[in-house]
């Protein structure tokens, strides 16, 4: 599957509608982004079952702002709508491949349990303050 161009209009649908989404925040003028582009494209060809999406920060400043993207390229990995990875910097193909494997290996039941516990703790703290 080729990379998908993400906009503020389709972002939520893509992230909600797919189990795994890798997002590359980039811009035309950014040298490291242009170097990482082919690595990202190659990974999308190697993993047709996953979604690889790109956000042009020049055209989609709201999305970049929503995710506090300060420098590009920034790579994010969503799995079941949870951000598992969000780091600036272009990755070499080998490291990107390893990251994809790590994201696929995460026990999402455990992640969702931790998130639920964090919310429960937060709600509990909130109750205490009254």
77 contacts 84 by C-beta, under 8 angstroms: yes
Strands 82-88 and 74-79: antiparallel
Token code pair at residue 55: 């956000």
Query: At which residue do the structure tokens 């992640």 appear?
Result: 111
Among residues 6, 20, 23, 30, the one annotated as catalytic is: 30
Query: Catalytic one among 20, 21, 33, 100?
Result: 33
76 in catalytic set: no
Write down the residue that tokens 């390893």 correspond to: 98
- Look up 67 and say whether it is catalytic: no
> Of the candidates 47, 102, 53, which has an alpha carbon nearest to the alpha carbon of residue 73?
53
Structural contact between residues 51 and 4, judged by C-beta atoms closer than 8 angstroms: yes
Catalytic residues: 30, 33
């Amino acid at each position: 599957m080729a990379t998908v161009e993400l906009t503020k209009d389709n972002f939520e649908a893509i992230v909600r509608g797919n189990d795994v989404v890798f997002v590359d925040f980039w811009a035309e003028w950014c040298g490291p982004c242009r170097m990482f582009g082919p690595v990202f494209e190659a990974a999308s060809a190697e993993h047709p079952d996953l979604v690889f999406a790109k956000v042009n920060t020049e055209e989609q400043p709201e999305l970049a702002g929503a995710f506090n993207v300060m420098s590009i390229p920034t790579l994010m990995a969503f799995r079941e709508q949870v951000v598992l990875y969000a780091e600036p910097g272009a990755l070499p193909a080998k490291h990107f491949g390893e990251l994809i494997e790590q994201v696929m290996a995460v026990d999402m039941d455990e992640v969702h349990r931790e998130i639920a516990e964090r919310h429960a703790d937060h709600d509990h703290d909130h109750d205490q303050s009254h």
